[in-house]
Structure 1
Amino acid sequence: MQAHEVEELNELLSWFDDYLDAPTRFARSKNKHAHEKALSWFKPEADEHIDRARVLLALLGRHGVMSEMLTTAKPGMIIYEDDWQVAAIPFKDKDF
């Protein structure tokens, strides 16, 4: 990455650190070796978070990091939720 891209990346990551809490759980079990792992999803009203994630992914995409936007009305069993996101263990019939 060029210097201006590193600066942009750091600004984006800093914004997420300031405005998006890290989920406190990613499994139903509190065991750190739990088999089931949750996926994080932005809520539809997280417009600014989604916009900045798109900018971040475009920047990373220019350097070979591939991404795909997924949407769902049923993310699975929710094990963490805040104003902007949920973390959910996908239902067995989903192949995210």
Structure 2
Amino acid sequence: MLQTATAVLLDVRETQEWQAGHIPGAQHLPLSRLTAGAKAPSAPAGSRLVLICRSGQRSQHAARLLREQGIDAVDVTGGMKAWVRQGLPIQDTAGAAGTVI
């Protein structure tokens, strides 16, 4: 469910975290920019935004913010830490194996 007709994955971590390692195909919008009024990326009609951060705290906050704006948004429980524990791929901005910081 990374970026399909039914979901768009949005990473809300800060830029240095994103650069160190993110999920291939995810979009990036730091929570700090979102809370400052930045517009969430558009998603195809009928789809939802799936938000992720390092541990799940920021993505929960971001999802709540977006739902208050009428956007269908959920967070990934456990965040990037849980993603990596499951052995799922992450990459840095150069396309090499990434890390979660």
Could you say which TM-score interval applies, normalised by the shorter chain?
0.3 to 0.5
| Structure having the higher Rg | 1
TM-score by length of 2: 0.32
Q: TM-score with structure 1 length normalisation?
A: 0.34
